[in-house]
Amino acid sequence: MEEKKINEGEEKKSLSFVEQMVEKDLEEGKNAGRIQTRFPPEPNGYIHIGHAKAICMDFGVAEKYNGVCNLRFDDTNPSKEDTEYVDSILHDIQWLGFKWGNVYYASDYFQQLWDFAVWMIKKGLAYIDEQTSEQIAQQKGTPTTPGTASPYRDRPVEESLKLFEQMNTPEAVEGSMVLRAKMDMANPNMHFRDPVMYRIIHTPHHRTGTQWHAYPMYDFAHGQSDFFEGVTHSICTLEFVPHRPLYDKFIDLLKEMRGETADINDNRPRQIEFNRLNLTYTVMSKRKLHQLVDEKLVRGWDDPRMPTVCGMRRRGYSAQSIRNFIDSIGYTKFDALNDYALLEAAVRDDLNKKACRVSAVLNPVKLILTNYPEGQSEELEAINNPENEADGSHTITFSRELWIERDDFMEDAPKKFFRLSPGKEVRLKNAYIIKCTGCKKDDEGNVTEIYAEYDPLSRSGMEGANRKVKGTLHWLSVNHCQKAEVRLYDRLFNVENPSADDRDFHDLLNPESLKVLNNCYVENYLSEKKAGDFLQFQRIGYFTLDPDTTPGHLVFNRTVGLKDTWAKINK
Ligand code: ATP
Ligand code: MG
């Protein structure tokens, strides 16, 4: 008995605090065991890996407790929103591997919210303020000193009702008035100091066009939308902790309007907050990501250096590796900066299981096997993935003239150089053992050709082929390979936490975050691959084909190196 109890305790421990709260609600029989969550993006940009963390939580909880997770686009600010973003968000969530129940829009509730606001005005709980936003801000006070009441605070209900109608006409001047809740100008929680409920915006809305001119603020839309949909657990990030009392307050009022009472099955959404995902050497703020794109500091939202889901996909990260990373960092109540190296480790770990092993030479120099017959070639077997036999193999052509990496040859090599140098033996991957006999150089002393002799009896797989040689090099047959462009990516910013740095954002960018190599070669086999396929260029790193590829022009992205090189450089 004793033992069982301990096990149960351990199981509980591994639940995130959010899951523990959900389980407690289930145990107490709240909402008859119904679990409903939502992911509520504002369609004003592409989603990034921080959103992916929220997605994993929102969808994960629903999946785990047989509930449903819906999507709700928080589209209450038409000046920044667009259907382009809606479409990309739908695509990215699917790519991450999640399925939503319904797709809702906050704009579906504009009429309901309007009616609720009118009810509040009639109850004397809201008023039209005709001050400027600066004046309103000045009157807010500080958390320790009370604010000052607006001169419009006690205007007659009829006047506010009439002006509210006016706010919603094409003639209304943006910024000329707002609707505010009449709450408590002395409340230590600043969100209660007569929060703004509605503002005027004339930019046409991506769904409702020019039907509306007065739009609800986040605080007057989010909780109510949760309530209208029947959300049971409204999970969000820590910055919303101070908004929670207001979230609850508006729902109290909404229930009062509807004449509903509080009980265990009242389908009241409960807001729960967890820590945001922040990554070193990048930024997560949509405003800054917009800036990077708009100022063409990157090549677009899906630039492989971006922390966006589409950027990471283009770079060759697997959805599984992103999910594994998010799982490994967990959910807490404290904001922190997560190490990018951890994400890369998760990517390597997953790609090691999935990537097809191929050969590519990024910095080529010619190797001639002087005793290999001219005009002859042979097809050798190359195993696709030693980690997964089911992936099979493909063939690679061998011949007299090969490309190898320039770095793999040294004329005067130190003792521990286990690659090619005169008099030394190495194995060519999947092929023969060769012995270097010399090299040719140009006037400046650059090596232009390397010479070697192959041992015909040493082919991989041949009996007696297991003679010990220290190094194995990758190679390509000069007449049986293709030219390629290879894009090498590095961290986007030079500083660990650009968001916390006061210096100009532009000065923090890493000018060497993209290096393009135009003189690379890859196996012919790679022309069968498509963008997003996971590849390992043996001895170099993980790569994928970039969508910029056209017939006859292959472009590859380096997803991540084989080892963590940053760790060393930083020390
Ligand atoms: P904005 O600055 O435009 O408000 P946002 O990043 O908050 O941007 P939203 O579209 O409002 O974007 O976010 C949708 C959901 O994703 C919210 O619930 C938010 O809490 C969550 N989210 C956003 N950024 C992160 C992050 N870095 N880590 C975890 N969750 C995040
Ligand atoms: Mg937000």
- Taking only the tens place, the pLDDT of each residue in 177-193 is 999 999 999 999 999 99
Instruction: Tell me the average pLDDT of the chain.
Output: 94
The Cα 433–Cα 456 span in angstroms is 8
Q: How far apart are CA 233 and CA 69, in angstroms?
A: 10
Residue nearest ligand 1's atom 9 by CA: 41
- The answer to whether residue 418 scores a pLDDT higher than 50 is yes
DSSP string, 374-388: TT-EEEEEEES-TT-
Which pLDDT belongs to residue 371?
Answer: 97
Which atom in ligand 1 lies closest to the alpha carbon of residue 53? 29
Q: Is the CB of 207 under 6 A from ligand 1?
A: no
Question: How distant is the alpha carbon of residue 132 from its chain centre?
Answer: 38
Residue identifier of the C-alpha nearest atom 25 of ligand 1: 50
CATH 3.60.110.10 given to domain 18-274: no
Ligand 1 pocket, 117 CB below 6 A?
no
Query: pLDDT digit string (tens) for 59-94?
Result: 999 999 999 999 999 999 999 989 999 999 999 999
Contact criterion met (CB below 8 Å) for 355 and 386: no
Rounded percentage of the chain residues whose pLDDT exceeds 90:
91
Pairing mode, strands 481-489 and 514-523: antiparallel
- Whether 568 has a pLDDT exceeding 90, the answer reads no
Rounded to the nearest angstrom, the gap between the alpha carbon of residue 389 and the centroid of all alpha carbons in its chain is 31
Which ligand approaches the C-alpha of residue 335 most closely? 1
φ/ψ of 396, rounded to 5, equals -135, 140
Which phi and psi angles does 220 have, rounded to 5°?
A: -95, 5
Cα of 230 to ligand 2 centre, how many Å?
21
Residue nearest to atom 22 of ligand 1 (CA): 51
Q: Residue 260's CB: how many other CB atoms inside 10 A?
A: 13
The pLDDT value recorded for residue 10 is 46
Q: Which of 225, 239, 204, 277 is nearest to 71 (CA)?
A: 225
C-alpha angle with apex 481: 479 to 486, nearest 5 degrees?
Answer: 140
Cα(566) to centroid of ligand 1, in Å? 28
More confident position, 465 or 422: 422
Q: Is 51 in the pocket of ligand 1 (CB under 6 A)?
A: yes
Which pLDDT score is estimated for 4? 42
- Which pLDDT score, from 0 to 100, does residue 283 have? 97
User: What homologous superfamily is domain 279-356+484-569 in, according to CATH?
Assistant: Ribosomal Protein L25; Chain P (2.40.240.10)
Instruction: State the pLDDT confidence band at 7, using cuts at 50, 70 and 90.
Output: very low
CA triple 396-402-408, angle to 5 deg: 105
Long-range contacts of 160-163 (CB under 8 A, 24+ apart): 160/121, 160/126, 160/127, 160/128, 161/118, 161/121, 161/122, 163/128, 163/130
Categorize the per-residue pLDDT at 563 as very low, low, confident or very high, splitting at 50, 70 and 90.
confident
Ranges for all domains in the chain classified under CATH 2.40.240.10 = 279-356+484-569, 360-474
pLDDT at 470: 87
pLDDT reading at 9 higher than 90: no
**Ramachandran region, residue 392 (left: φ > 0; alpha: ψ -120 to 50; beta: rest):** left
Q: Is 243 in the pocket of ligand 1 (CB under 6 A)?
A: no
Q: Supply the pLDDT for residue 6.
A: 42
**What are 297-328's pLDDT values in tens digits?**
999 999 999 999 999 999 999 999 999 999 99
In 3D space, the residue among 533, 486, 522 whose CA is nearest the CA of residue 385 turns out to be 533
Q: According to the 3-state scheme, what is the secondary structure of 304-357? A: CCCCEHHHHHHHCCCHHHHHHHHHHHCCCCCCCCECHHHHHHHHHHHHHHHCEE
Tens digit of each residue's pLDDT (9 = 90 or more) over 228-256: 999 999 999 999 999 999 999 999 999 99
Band of residue 171 on the pLDDT scale cut at 50, 70, 90: very high
- Active-site position among 19, 23, 34, 42: 42
Predicted pLDDT at 122: 98
The share of the chain scoring above pLDDT 70, in percent, equals: 96
CATH class name, domain 360-474: mainly beta
Confirm or reject: Cβ of 140 under 6 Å from ligand 1: no
pLDDT (tens digit per residue) in 444-494: 999 999 999 999 999 988 876 667 888 999 999 999 999 999 999 999 999
C-alpha 32 – ligand 1 centre gap (Å): 30
pLDDT score of 72: 98
**Is the CB–ligand 1 distance for residue 307 below 6 Å?**
no
Query: What sign does the dihedral 243-248-251-257 (CA atoms) show?
Result: negative
Q: What is the dihedral of CA 101, 105, 110, 115, to 10 degrees?
A: 20
* d(CA 41, ligand 1 centre) in Å: 7
Ligand 1, atom 27, lies closest to the CA of 50
pLDDT at 120 over 80: yes
Q: What is the distance in A from the centroid of ligand 1 to the CA of 22? A: 22
Average pLDDT over residues 382-390: 95
C-beta atoms surrounding 99 within 10 Å: 11
Of 278, 344, 359, 362, nearest in space to 490 by CA: 344
What per-residue confidence (pLDDT) applies to 266? 80
237 lines ligand 1 (CB under 6 A): yes
Residues 526-549, mean pLDDT to the nearest whole number: 96
In testing the pocket of ligand 1, which one of 42, 59, 217, 287 has its CB within 8 Å of the most ligand atoms? 42
276 is known as an active-site residue: yes
CATH 3.40.50.620 in the chain, residues? 18-274
Q: Is the pLDDT of residue 525 over 60?
A: yes
Ligand 1 pocket check for 43: Cβ under 6 Å: no
